Amino acid sequence: MKLEALIIAGVQEAMRNLYGQELGLESIALNETKKEFVGDITVVVFPLTKFSRLGPEQTAEAIGTYLVKSIEYISAFNVVKGFLNLQIANSYWLSFFKAEHNNLEFGKGEKKRKVVLEYCGPNTNKPLHLGHIRNMLLGYSTANLLSFAGNDVHKVNIYNDRGIAICKSMLAWKLFGAGATPESSGLKGDHFVGKFYVEFDKHYKAEVQALVEQGLSKEVAEKQAPLIVKAQEMLVQWEQGDKEVLALWNKMNSWCYEGFEETFKALGVDFEKHYKESDFYLQGKSLVDEGLKKNFFYKKEDGSVWVDLEDKGLDHKLLLRGDGTSVYITQDMGVAEARYQDYQFDESIYVVASEQDYHFKVLQLVLEKLEKPYAEGIYHLSYGLVNLPNGRMKSREGTVVDADDLIAEMIATAEKHTKELGKIDDFTPEEAQALYKTLAMGALKYFMLKVSPKRSMIFNPEESIEFQGDTGPFIQFNYVRIQSLLRKQTLAQLQLDGIEINEDEKDLIKDLYKFPALIQGAAANYDISELVSYCYSLAKNYSKFYANNAILVDTTEDLKNFRLLLSRWVAEVLKSSFGILGIEMPNRM
C-alpha cells in the first residue's frame, strides 16, 4: 500500500480505537512536512480535535504514539502546535529504492481511455507565430503526458483551409504575384503565401483610403473596395467548385503545408492525421439539417438557421447563414462528427486559445442538443494568449513574433552561450550544431511550458530566453553531469547493507517516490506545467546533492554504487519527463 493510504488508514484506526470515532477520508489531511521541521509527512490535527474532544497537542501526541506502534515504517514523531510530524524510517525509502530503481516503466500509468487531441489549427494563409508555438508545445506535450499516464492518445491537426482569408492571399497572388513560386523567390512556402496576404491588405487599405477621399464613409468604403468585392466573389466561386479557383487554392495551400511541415519538424511535433475544414463543412451542414428535422434548431424567415441556448444561460446562436453557406461552428460540428466516426473516442480534447471559450461552450451544447453521444467527452483545453510587454501581437503593426525566426534566434543564442563556455571544443561541427539545437529547443520549450496553461503569459522579444536558473538547459546540465559520471564508472549490483542515507539522498528518493502520483495529477488537470515544476525541483535537489557529496572518490564501493544508481535513476526520470515535454537530452554540453 502507498505510504499516504497507509497513514490515513492508521489515523482512522487510531481515532476508532482511542476515541470511538469513525472518520471519513475527507477529514484527514496529510501534508508534506515543511523543510524547517523534522519529519516527512504531517497530519493536520485541528480537524480531529472535535472528535477527540481534546486539545490539538494532546490529540496529536495520542495519535502519534498510536501510529508509531501500529505502523512499522513510522519511526518517530513530534508535535508542533496542531501539526503531527511523522518520520518515515530510512528502511522504507531504501526498500522503495531497491524495488523501483531498475524499473524502466517507472511512473507509467495503467491503460485507460481513448483520447483524441487536436492542436495547432493554423490558417493556411500565413506563417505560424508565437501563439502557435505555445499551442503546439502544449498540445504535443499534453498528448504525451496523457499517454504516459496510461491513455491511448491520438494527435490530430485541423487546417482552417478555406474562407475569406485564404481568398485574399489567392487574389493577391493572382494580381501581383506574376507567377512567382516559393522556389523562384527562395521563400519558405507559408511565408511566401503570407507575403501575399500582407500584400492584399496593403492594396486594400489604399483602395479604402482612395474611396474615403472620394467622400465615402469608411464603413462603406471597406465594403465596396474592389479588392474585397473580388475576394468575396472568389469565395463564392470556391464554394461553387470553380475549377480555376480550386486549382489556385490547392496550389497555394500546398505551399503552406510544405512550410508548416518544416516548422513542425523544427519544433519536433507530429500528427497522426490532418483534418481539413474544407472536407467537413458539408457534413456540418447535414448535421444542421438533422437538427432542423428533429426541431432542435429553428429557421428564420430569411433562411438562416439558429439554435436557442437560453436554457443553458447563453443566447441564440447562428448555425447557418441565410444564403445557406456555413459559418465557423458549422464546420466544427462536421469535424467533431467525423472525428467520432474515425476514432470512437472516450474523450476529444481541443487545444485552442481562451479567446474561444465561448465558441467551445456553444459547440458542446449544440452537440448535446443533437443528442450526440460524444458531446460529453469534449474538452476544451483552453490556454492563455501570449502577449508582448505592451499588449497583444498585431500583424498590422508588425509585432508578430514569427515561429521560424524565434527558433533560429534561439539556436544562435545557444551557440553563443556554448562557445563562451568552451566545453565542447572536440565536437565535430555537426555534433555542435545538434547540441545548439537541443539546448535552444530545451530553453524555448521549457520557457513556454512552465507557465500554467490557463494563464496568459508575457513574452519580451527584447530579453532573450534564459539558459540559467529555472530553465531547460539547467535540467539538461544535470542530466549531462550524471552521464559523465556513468561514463567513468561501471555499475555493480546494488548492495544496500550498511548504507545510511543522508538528507540529500533522502530528498532525492522522496522526489522520485512522488513521480507516479505527479504524473496522474498533472494528467487529471491537463496541466503540463506541474511536470515542469517537478523536473526543476528534482534537478535542483540533485544539483545540491552533487555539490555536497562525493560520488566517485572518497567513497566505499557500495556507497559509490548506490549513489551512481541513485544518480542514474534521477537521470532516467528527468529524461522521460523531458521526453514528455518534447525536449531532448544531450549527453555532453
Contact positions with RNA (CB under 7 A) in 400-429 = 414, 417-418, 421, 423
Rounded-to-integer distance, Cα 340 and Cα 116, Å:
9
Instruction: Give residues 133-152 in contact with RNA (rule: CB under 7 A).
Output: none
Contact string (CB under 7 A) for RNA, positions 90-129, x = contact: ---------------------------------x------
- Shortest gap between Cβ of 178 and RNA (angstroms)? 28
Of 208-216, 258-266, 399-407, 447-455: span binding RNA (CB under 7 A): 447-455
The correct pick among 452, 464, 494, 506 for binding RNA (CB under 7 A) is 452
Q: Does 4 bind RNA (CB under 7 A)?
A: no
Kindly tell me which of 372 and 563 has the beta carbon lying closer to RNA: 563
Q: Which of 357, 376, 397, 503 binds RNA (CB under 7 A)?
A: 357
Contact 48, 108 (CB under 8 A): no
CB 581 within 8 A of CB 522: no
CA dihedral 269, 273, 277, 282 (to 10 degrees): -170
Residues 518-577 binding RNA (CB under 7 A) are 521, 529-530, 533, 536, 540, 543-544, 546-554
Locus of grid cell 485564404: 166
User: 166, 249 in Cβ contact below 8 A?
Assistant: yes
Phi and psi torsions of 527, nearest 5° = -120, 95
Here's the x/- map for RNA, 263-302, by CB under 7 A: it reads as --------------x----------------------x-x
Shortest distance (Å) from residue 272 CB to RNA: 23
Q: What is the DSSP string of 244-255?
A: HHHHHHHHHHHH
CA distances from 391 to 385, 386, 404, 437, 446 (A): 10, 9, 21, 29, 23
Q: In this complex, which beta carbon is closest to RNA, that of residue 261 or of residue 357?
A: 357
CA–CA gap between residue 86 and residue 109 (Å, rounded): 29
Q: Restricting to residues 476-495, which ones interact with RNA according to CB under 7 A?
A: 477, 480-481, 483-485, 488
Among 162, 276, 285, 575, binds RNA (CB under 7 A): 162
Which of 152/415 has CB closer to RNA?
Answer: 415
Applying the rule CB under 7 A, the residues between 15 and 44 that interact with RNA are: 29, 31-34, 36-37, 39, 42, 44
Q: Which three cell numbers stand for residue 93?
A: 525509502
Task: Write down the least CB distance from residue 26 to RNA, Å.
Answer: 9
The angle at the Cα of 487, spanning 483 to 493, to the nearest 5 degrees, equals 95
**Residue 53 identity:** R
Q: Which is nearer to RNA, 231 or 269 (CB)?
A: 231
Region class of 87: left (phi > 0), else alpha (psi between -120 and 50), else beta: beta
CA 515 to chain centre: 18
The distance of closest approach from Cβ of residue 204 to RNA in the complex, given in angstroms and rounded to an integer, is 14
Judged by CB under 7 A, the number of residues near RNA is: 96
Identify which range of 183-191, 204-212, 222-230, 463-471 contacts RNA by CB under 7 A. 463-471
Element (H, E) at 458: strand 457-458
Does 164 sit near RNA (CB under 7 A)?
yes
**327 lies in the site for RNA, by CB under 7 A:** yes
DSSP labels for 112-143? --EEEEEE---BTTS--BHHHHHHHHHHHHHH
- Please give the grid coordinates belonging to residue 225: 473596395
Contact by Cβ (8 Å): 248, 174: yes
Q: Indicate whether 55 belongs to the interface with RNA (CB under 7 A).
A: no
- 31/399 with CB nearer RNA: 31
Do β-strands 347-353 and 41-44 pair in parallel, antiparallel, or remain unpaired?
Answer: unpaired
- Binding segment for RNA (CB under 7 A), chosen from 64-72, 96-104, 317-325, 396-404, is 317-325
* Amino acid letter for position 35: K
Length of the chain counted residue by residue = 589
240 binds RNA (CB under 7 A): no
Stretch that binds RNA, among 10-18, 268-276, 318-326, 570-578 (CB under 7 A): 318-326
Question: Residue 179 Cβ, how far from RNA at the closest point, in Å?
Answer: 28
Among 224, 399, 468, 502, binds RNA (CB under 7 A): 468
